[in-house]
Amino acid sequence: MLIAADKFKGSLTAVQVAERVTAGLRRVLPELAVEALPVADGGDGTVAAAVAGGFERREVEVTGPLGEPVTAAYALRGDTAVVEMAEASGLQLLPEGVFAPLTSTTYGSGELLLAALDAGARTIVFGVGGSATTDGGAGMLAALGAKFLDAAGEAVGAGGGPLADLATADLSGIDPRFAEVDLVLASDVDNPLTGPKGAPAVYGPQKGATPEDVETLDAALGHFAQVLEKSIGSKAAELAASPGAGAAGGIGYGALVALGARFRPGIEVMLDVLGFAPALSRATLVITGEGSLDEQTLHGKAPAGVAAAARAAGVEVVAVCGRLALPPEALGKAGIRRAYPLTSVEPDVAKCIAEAGPILERVAEQIARDFLS
């Protein structure tokens, strides 16, 4: 039995999901061989999944999204590092009810990448998602040595809003080690930088952006790309329209345009890094899942990636979730034989959120009875 599930956001980490499912399975079949491989799709929880998979957790003090110091972690194994931008620039770092859509910065994400470089990383998986920021990665690049100046020759302010005042961009000071590093941009979204499907329009509102803020940010990021085009040529415009450029408030664009990153779906990268294929070869059934199985799940989220890989190997997959919003035919197309929501054993949604762990154990008991007894 292989448990390869993502977190239940707000209730259980991916590690806790695996622990609870294991406990429930073994309540029915005490001798069952269970292997846990917590997964993530590049967003928040990616470092924790890597650590659970055998990477070493490293902590460093960096600049948070509001400019204050925060302690952020990355994961290291050999010369491979897993860096999660949400650790330095994530929404979860903001005080409750506080947003700064125009001025929050990815500077700390740049500092986190530098820490990984200094630790000897030659391959960096850069998981982007869950950001508090919409600055196109300008803060990150500034931390790595880029200069972004206004017409008076002064550094532009932090965040996406002040990029409207950008006059010149100089990327020549970026740490030269990036030319020798394999930087993989791991994300579960493929949005471009700007436009109706761009970072400000699609993700700005969840970061506190008003409709006026969205317009301001979209124009500022478009201007950012235009100034970069003057500095480094037509690839700046091409990459602004490429998949992943709009990931995490446009930090994907910064990584693609200035750091030589290559974009890959986050779950595919993480399955490779965590050694999913050899674990799958030992499994007769895979249990995947996340907090909500819905339409978004089918577009690059962890359970869809796990199910696709398992189906290719001929291994059956079932899923656990807090909430199920997909019909059986959609699950089947995704390669998931059956889904088990917490609400199947506890109809009270509030109780499912508050007592997710014990309820998940009961769900796992049902899976054991249905598929293994």
Q: Which residue range is the domain that position 124 belongs to?
A: 46-267
Last residue of a domain, one of 213, 239, 267: 267
pLDDT over 90 (residue 296): no
Give pLDDT tens digits for 51-84. 999 999 999 999 999 999 999 999 999 999 999 9
Domain count for the chain, please give it: 2
pLDDT category, 325, cuts 50, 70, 90? very high
**Which pTM value belongs to this model?**
0.93
Question: 290 and 260 in one domain?
Answer: no
Same domain, yes or no, for 164 and 98? yes
Q: Residue 50 sits in a domain of what CATH number?
A: 3.90.1510.10
Q: How far apart are CA 83 and CA 216, in angstroms?
A: 29
Starting at the earlier edge strand, list the strands of the sheet with 182-187. 56-63, 69-77, 80-84, 123-127, 182-187, 262-265
Same domain, 155 and 59: yes
Residue 50 to residue 162: CA distance in whole angstroms: 35
Specify whether 214 is located in the same domain as 337: no
Q: How far is CA 353 from CA 96, 292, 320, 331, 358, in A?
A: 19, 11, 14, 23, 11
In the predicted model, what is the mean pLDDT of residues 129-143?
97
From the list 68, 179, 62, the residue with the least C-alpha distance to 111 is 62
> What percent of the residues of the chain are helix, what percent strand, and what percent coil, each to the nearest 5?
45, 20, 35
Q: What is the mean pLDDT of the chain?
A: 96
Query: 356 is written with which tokens?
Result: 């997710």
Q: Provide the 3-class DSSP secondary structure of residue 323.
A: strand
Q: How confident is the model at residue 373 (pLDDT cuts 50, 70, 90)?
A: confident
- Among 40-44, 85-89, 196-200, 237-241, the least confident range: 40-44
Are 144 and 190 members of one domain? yes
Task: Report the Cα 274 to chain-centroid distance in Å.
Answer: 15
The verdict on 292 and 154 lying in the same domain is: no
Which pair of tokens denotes residue 273?
């890094």
**Residues 199 and 74 grouped into a single domain:** yes
Q: Are residues 197 and 284 in the same domain?
A: no
Nearest Cα to 5, choosing from 204, 346, 274?
274
Choose the final residue of a domain: 267, 285, 304: 267
Residues 19 and 58 grouped into a single domain = no
Same domain, 211 and 352: no
142 and 9 share one domain:
no
- In the predicted model, what is the mean pLDDT of residues 94-110? 96
Predicted confidence at residue 372, as pLDDT, reads: 87
CATH classification of the domain holding 13: 3.40.50.10350
Q: What pLDDT shows up at residue 43?
A: 86
pLDDT of residue 44: 86
Specify whether the backbone of 154 is left (phi greater than 0), alpha (psi in -120 to 50) or beta. Answer: beta
pLDDT-based confidence at 47, cuts 50/70/90? very high
Q: What percent of the chain has pLDDT over 70?
A: 100
Domain edge (last residue) among 232, 267, 302: 267
What DSSP element (H or E) covers 110? helix 107-118
Shared domain for 153 and 287, answered yes or no, is no
